[in-house]
Amino acid sequence: MYVTRVPNRNSPPAVLLRESFRVGDKVKSRTLANLSHWPEAKIEALRAVLNQGVYMHAGFAGATAPLTEARKGWRHAFGRYCLPRVRAQVREAQRAFAEDGTPESSERLVSLQRHLHELQALVSGADEPLPGGPSDREQRP
């Protein structure tokens, strides 16, 4: 996808969001949205997000990334996103278990510790599918 300006004869240029695709040997483009009514700052922000330089740090998100790299990158990003929240939940469960020592608080603590361990494995690059994701369901018998 890309943003382009298309000249108009007697009016300001149209600002369009477009995508390119192939049909056989030919490259074609289709207009996805007319952004002419957007403020210039918003158009430039969209251009920045669509810039290929963004994929230097997140190459797995690019359209041409191999599927295995895309899955590995998303697993890593997912794990990094969830880790702080799960660590906080583990600390809270540890406090609760220290206070009351009930079987329920013990089970919750063990469950959260297991979940934390799984997320750490995702971040470290283990080749596991995302929990509950389509690839997870496909690989189960």
pLDDT in tens, the chain (141 residues): 889 999 988 999 999 999 888 888 888 999 999 999 999 999 998 888 787 666 666 777 766 778 888 888 888 888 888 889 999 999 999 999 999 999 999 999 999 999 999 888 878 765 554 444 444 434 333
Predicted pLDDT at 24: 87
Residues making up the chain, counted from first to last: 141
* CA–CA distance, 74 with 58 (Å, rounded to integer): 9
Angle at 97 between CA 92 and CA 103, to 5 degrees: 130
Beta strand spans in 7-141 (E): 14-23, 26-34
24 SS3 class: coil
Predicted pLDDT at 22: 87
How does strand 26-34 pair with strand 14-23? antiparallel
β-partners of residue 30 are 19
Predicted pLDDT at 114: 94
β-partners of residue 49 are none
Predicted pLDDT at 125: 67
Predicted pLDDT at 55: 63
Predicted pLDDT at 54: 63
Predicted pLDDT at 115: 92
Predicted pLDDT at 140: 33
pTM summary value? 0.48
Q: How far is CA 84 from CA 79, 90, 110, 127, in A?
A: 9, 10, 17, 21
